[in-house]
Amino acid sequence: MLRSILAVVLGIIVGGITVGVVEFTGHTIYPPPPDLDASNREALSAYIATAPIAVLLFVMAAWVLGAFTGGLVAAWIGRRAPVVHALIIGGFILLSGIASMLYYPHPAWFWVVGIVTVPSAAYAAARLVGPSRTV
């Protein structure tokens, strides 16, 4: 039980750090307008609606890579049930992404790609660690 809790906590931390690093890289390559007030929901929503597709792809890559790296760590540490542990991380990142998409309007394709690829990345990470064994 303690190992499972550790697996999930460390998976969330590693996944979150990965998301942050990839999104920071995206913001460095494609910086938002200097006058954008990130605390203004309407301004940020308007920016997302007009942002280059590469900006959205960086966000999606961050979520997918976060689910993968966090899922990999969780599956490796929680080795009795690698798929379960990895999918918990994928679900956590997916729920965070859905909350973001609900708060700031995103294009329909972004929803579809996110809902499909984030859990798939976590599952792929678990499969790299090894086949699922009993819980």
Q: What distance in Å separates the CA atoms of residue 126 and residue 67, rounded to the nearest whole number?
A: 11
Residue 23: which of 42, 38, 6 has the closest Cα? 38
The pLDDT value given to residue 23: 95
- Indicate if the pLDDT at residue 135 is higher than 60: no
Per-residue model confidence as pLDDT tens digits over 69-113? 999 999 999 988 999 999 999 999 999 999 999 998 899 999 999
pLDDT surpassing 80 at residue 133: no
pLDDT value for 124 = 96
Task: Identify the pLDDT of residue 41.
Answer: 87
pLDDT at 132 over 60: no
Burial 71-104 (b: 16+ CB within 10 A, else e): bbbbbbbbeebbbbbbbbbbebbbebbeeebeee
Q: Quick one: CA dihedral 56, 60, 61, 66, positive or negative?
A: positive
| Calpha distance 24→111 (Å, rounded) | 21
More confident residue, 124 or 51: 124
Taking the model in full, what pTM does it have? 0.89
Check residue 128 and give its pLDDT.
93
CA–CA separation, 5 and 121 (whole Å): 21
Please report, for the chain, the start and end positions of each structural domain, with discontinuous segments joined by +. Answer: 2-30+50-129
* Alpha-carbon distances, residue 64 vs 81, 98, 99 (angstroms): 21, 13, 16
- Per cent of the chain over pLDDT 70 is 96
**Three-state SS at 15:** helix
Residue 39: pLDDT band by 50, 70, 90 thresholds?
confident
The pLDDT value recorded for residue 48 is 87
What is the predicted pLDDT for the residue at 26?
A: 94
